[in-house]
Amino acid sequence: MAGGHFGPAGVAKERAEQYQGRVTISVVIACVVAAVGGSLFGYDIGISGGVTLMDGFLLKFFPGVYEKKKRVHENNYCKYNDQGLSSFTSSLYLAGLVASLIASPVTRTYGRRASIICGGVSFLIGATLNASAANLAMLLLGRIMLGVGIGFGNQAVPVYLSEMAPTHLRGGLNMMFQLATTTGIFTANMINYGTRKLDPWGWRLSLGLAAVPAVLMAVGGILLPETPNSLIERGMQDKGRKVLEKIRGTKNVDAEFEDMVDASELANSIKHPFRNILIKRNRPQLVMAILLPAFQILTGINSILFYAPVLFQSMGFGGNASFYASAVTGAVLCSSTFITIATVDRVGRRFLLISGGIQMIICQVIVSVILGLKYDDNQQLSKGFSVLVVVMICLFVLAFGWSWGGLGWTIPSEIFPLETRSAGQSITVAVNLVFTFAIAQSFLSLLCAFKFGIFLFFAGWILLMTIFVYFFLPETKGVPIEEMIFLWRKHWFWKRIVPGNPGGGYSSTGLGERTTE
């Protein structure tokens, strides 16, 4: 031997055809309750843009922006360009980035439920601070606590859903997270539409109502069962099997249970998941964990959702019309998720990502052309072109909703082996929040600098990500979560990188290097 030994090899053979079980009421309830965590993320995305347009909020915290807003001669694209105002939106995501990395060992050591509960409690504290904010420091502290809640929730909930769902419906049930997110966005838009009339304190109600999904998430986390994968990984095999039998509705779960036991043996031999995730065997998953969340944000969707009221008002819509238009886009995004739920386990992930990408590119280009030809710095769009812009943005949001919206979370949560799943999801969330922070902080400046070209900027990124999916993302539809390793070994490109010997051992030193005779 070359100074090593054969350690646990993980899942060594494919047993997918032997999996038994059906969709049970218990697994549906568990997935629905857990998915409420997505509403925290969605509610904040939807509420932030509307609150930053309310005069009472701007007068208290950003009086300079309020004065600039009142100057009708101000450059339409630049009147909301303020780094302090951008910091209000983006500070949350920087806090979430740090929290997501802390959440990884919590999720692995104490279970998925522990992180879900931590997320709900942190978000509740943040909502309370925001609603009662007396100064900018208090407001930003509240945003940071909201970020901690989102970091924990987004790290744990997608993994929880992927592990609880049966293989043949994993995509649809995982979409519950995206459905909750889009429902949160739409709800926030409607709340903003009502509270904007409650001057000067309506913004407090908008921010404070974030406590509702926070309480639901925290209480849900207490009542939910732990995933069998997590229980087995933590040495509770008997309890894990009982949960597996309950959620599958049958005692004939031997094949799936054996996969989990094999995966847990390798997982427990890995002492440093973040170090292990860097080894060659995990290279494809690491690439996906970095690029998929980055691409999701680079579609430009968060810019539209964060700043929808600001964006529409910058394009010449009146105050009421801008809120109404953003509420419509929120409703479209929410409804589009049902398309994914109905089709993701039938047509597959790749088809939805590619078709959605093509439609988003077309819509972005059309909007850019209209604004470039028909809209100058200090004039408004005609009614006809305004309607066309809203329609194109709605079609863009629709395409995002059925493609990158949910699948940008679903795919990373299902492709990692158990030993690096928590670390991998933390990287996914961290990358998502890094790019969310960057776009949130820079979008108003980019809008001011690029003007209509901002839509072409995002269209270019969508073209790149669609090409990437076509060539490098294998189809994960119907593949058991603990057998994803076989998928990479069969892919035309990744098989050159992933070791092809399913029986090859991996050392239990925590370094993850494969040892040979």
Q: Could you please report the per-residue DSSP string of 251-277?
A: S--HHHHHHHHHHHHHHHH-S-HHHHT
Select from 41, 262, 22, 352 the least CA-distant residue to 165: 22
Q: What pTM was estimated for this model as a whole?
A: 0.79
pLDDT in tens, 225-246: 999 999 999 999 999 999 999 9
Measured between its terminal Cα atoms, the distance across the chain in Å is 5
378 has a pLDDT exceeding 80: no
pLDDT at 1 over 50: no
441 pLDDT more than 90: no
Query: In whole angstroms, what is the distance from residue 461 CA to residue 298 CA?
Result: 6
Q: Mean pLDDT throughout 98-126? A: 93
Show the tokens assigned to 16. Answer: 């997918």
Query: Residue 469 carries which side chain, given as an amino acid letter?
Result: V
Neighbours of 128 (CB within 10 A): 17
State the Cα torsion 82-83-89-95 to the nearest 10°: -170
pLDDT of residue 510: 37
pLDDT band, very low/low/confident/very high, at 501 (cuts 50, 70, 90): low
- Note whether 301 and 43 are within 8 A (CB): no
pLDDT band of residue 440 (cuts 50, 70, 90) is confident
- At 11 the pLDDT is 59
**Cα–Cα–Cα angle for 165, 170, 176, rounded to 5 degrees:** 85
Helix ranges restricted to H, 52-169: 55-61, 63-70, 83-110, 112-131, 136-164
Q: In this structure, are residues 310 and 430 in contact, taking their beta carbons and an 8 Å threshold? A: no
What token pair was written down for 461? 């990124």
Q: Rounded distance, CA 472 to CA 465, Å?
A: 10
Please give the DSSP secondary-structure letter assigned to residue 492.
T
Sign, CA torsion 57/139/306/41 = negative
> What pLDDT score was predicted for residue 376?
62
Least confident among 19-23, 409-413, 454-458, 488-492? 19-23
Which residues share a beta bridge with 514? 506
* Rg of the chain over all Cα atoms, to the nearest angstrom: 23
Whole-number pLDDT of residue 514: 39
**Residue pointed to by tokens 């409420």:** 36
H or E element, residue 464 = helix 453-472
Instruction: Please state the rounded mean pLDDT for residues 132-142.
Output: 91
How does residue 314 score in pLDDT terms, banded at 50, 70 and 90? low
Whether omega for the bond prior to residue 166 falls within 30 degrees of 0, making it cis, is no
Rounded Cα distance between 418 and 499, Å, is: 17
Q: What's residue 273's pLDDT?
A: 85
Average pLDDT over residues 462-476: 96
Q: How confident is the model at residue 509 (pLDDT cuts 50, 70, 90)?
A: very low
Tokens found for residue 63? 């009086």
Model pLDDT for residues 193-212, shown as the tens digit of each residue? 888 888 888 999 999 999 99
Q: For residue 383, what are its two tokens?
A: 């009614």
pLDDT in the model for residue 294: 95
pLDDT, position 438: 84
Provide the 8-state DSSP code for 226: P
| Higher per-residue confidence, 219 vs 513 | 219
Mean pLDDT of 392-419: 91
Report the C-alpha gap between 177 and 407 in whole angstroms. Answer: 10
- What does the block give as tokens for 452? 């209509």
Give the per-residue pLDDT at 306: 58
**Mean pLDDT, to the nearest integer, of 143-163?**
91
Residue with tokens 């093509």: 358
Count CA atoms within 13 Å of residue 330 on its CB side. Answer: 33
pLDDT above 50: residue 128: yes
Share of the chain above pLDDT 90, in %: 36
Give 411 or 54, the one with higher predicted confidence. Answer: 411
3-state secondary structure 406-440: HHHHHHHHHHCCHHHHHHHHHHHHHHHHHHHHHHH
**pLDDT category, 311, cuts 50, 70, 90?**
low
How far is the C-alpha of 30 from the C-alpha of 340, rounded, in Å?
20
- Rounded to whole angstroms, the Cα distance separating 183 from 124 reads 19
How large is the angle between the packed helices 406-415 and 136-164, nearest 10 degrees? 60
Nearest to 141 by CA among 133, 150, 149, 153: 133
pLDDT at 460 over 70: yes
Half-sphere exposure in the Cβ direction for 18 (13 Å, CA): 12
Q: What is the mean pLDDT of residues 29-56?
A: 83
Q: What is the CATH number of domain 20-225+270-496?
A: 1.20.1250.20
Of 7-21, 122-136, 334-348, the one with minimum mean pLDDT is 7-21
Helix (H, G, I), strand (E, B) or coil at 363: helix
d(CA 311, CA 479): 41
Kindly state the DSSP code that residue 76 receives in the 8-state scheme.
Answer: T
